[in-house]
Structure 1
Amino acid sequence: MANVRKAETKDINQLTELMYEYIVDFYQRPKPPIEKVHQLFYTLLNQKEGSQFVVEQDEKLVGFATLYFTYDTLFAQKVAILNDLYVTEEARGTDVANELFQACNNFAKENDYAYMSWLTANDNKRAQSFYEKMGATSEGWIHYSIQMNKMTSSLVK
């Protein structure tokens, strides 16, 4: 049986492993230094800027979700950004992702957030199908970003 709960200090090692699996293996991004991962973990533990939820099965973490908190001027209210929702390969196809998503959604409702939103990659059809089953719809916004380290290096040249 899966147990969804907020991350705790005791989770740091297993959660770090899951985060690296998510970052490096799933999204094929460079591995961030462990110090930065741990700093993020402890920042989220205080639950002022965000929160992390984990799924535990047989004393092993098999998934996590990260919420960040911000505001939306259009609603003049706080909002929750679901930045990550990840479950291990062996936990996919079970109810684990649903339970994790519902924990985040319930947190946003219980804490009077205007809404919860998130992004997923264009080619992540499995995630898109999952989110649609959860009742979500695409808002039609186009997402842009500027990576500071790339921008800084190009400005120096």
Structure 2
Amino acid sequence: METIVRMSKKEDLPQLKALMLEYIVDFYRSPKPDDQKLDDLIAVLLQREQGLQFVAEKDGVLKGFATLYFTYSTTRADKITVMNDLYVAEDSRGTDMASGLFQACKKYTGDNRYAAMLWETAEDNHRAQRFYEKMGGHKGDFLTYSI
């Protein structure tokens, strides 16, 4: 069966939450977030007002997700999307899932008249950088800081 990329829905909650925890804790080695906070975030994204998620499904099993947040760019004086996450489970990497998720985000951005889609990845995540370059992305001129 082929991969289906679609917007997330309420019924995806258990599988999506498990994938998000894998991404947060296992892949990025970040602390496990409070269960209620993660549930609340997924609920906000299901409303599709401040952002949304696409999922990649194969044989009824979610294998990846991408998160788009909606915001504005002062320099563009227009609305933009920020692809905050693009994750594919390890056993499904190297398939068409990542490109399917990326293309869904890009299409949504264009179809809904956003001026641009921005994203970032870790400086040492060379595999992701090669993927984004293959998708037509290019490194920006700005550095990211956090506090």
Question: TM class, shorter-chain normalised?
Answer: over 0.9
Report SS of the residue matched to 1:51: strand
Cα deviation code 1:52-88 (max 9, x no counterpart): 0001100000000000010011111100000000000
1:4-15 map, 5 Å: 4-15=5-16
Structure 1's unaligned 5+ residue stretches are 147-157
* Alignment partners' CA distance in 1, 2:54 and 2:100: 11
What amino acid is aligned across from residue 9 of structure 2 in structure 1? E
1:63-78 map, 5 Å: 63-78=64-79
Instruction: State the match for 1:32 in structure 2.
Output: 33
Report SS of the residue matched to 1:61: strand
1:57 aligned onto 2:58: yes
* Alignment partners' CA distance in 2, 1:26 and 1:95: 20
1:142 deviation in Å?
0.7
Cα deviation code 1:15-71 (max 9, x no counterpart): 000000000000000000110110000001111100000011000000000000100
Instruction: State the match for 2:138 in structure 1.
Output: 137
* Alignment partners' CA distance in 2, 1:141 and 1:55: 30
What amino acid is aligned across from residue 113 of structure 1 in structure 2? Y
1:145 deviation in Å?
1.2
Instruction: State the match for 1:84 in structure 2.
Output: 85
Report SS of the residue matched to 2:31: coil
Pairwise CA RMSD of aligned residues? 0.5
Cα deviation code 1:84-115 (max 9, x no counterpart): 00000111001110011000000000000000
* Alignment partners' CA distance in 2, 1:12 and 1:119: 25
In the superposition, the TM-score normalised over structure 2's length comes to 0.98
Instruction: State the match for 1:48 in structure 2.
Output: 49
Report SS of the residue matched to 1:104: helix
* Alignment partners' CA distance in 1, 2:105 and 2:72: 17
In the superposition, the TM-score normalised over structure 1's length comes to 0.92
Matched length:
146
Report SS of the residue matched to 1:102: helix
Instruction: State the match for 1:119 in structure 2.
Output: 120
* Alignment partners' CA distance in 2, 1:141 and 1:74: 13
* Alignment partners' CA distance in 2, 1:19 and 1:62: 11
Structure 2's unaligned 5+ residue stretches are none
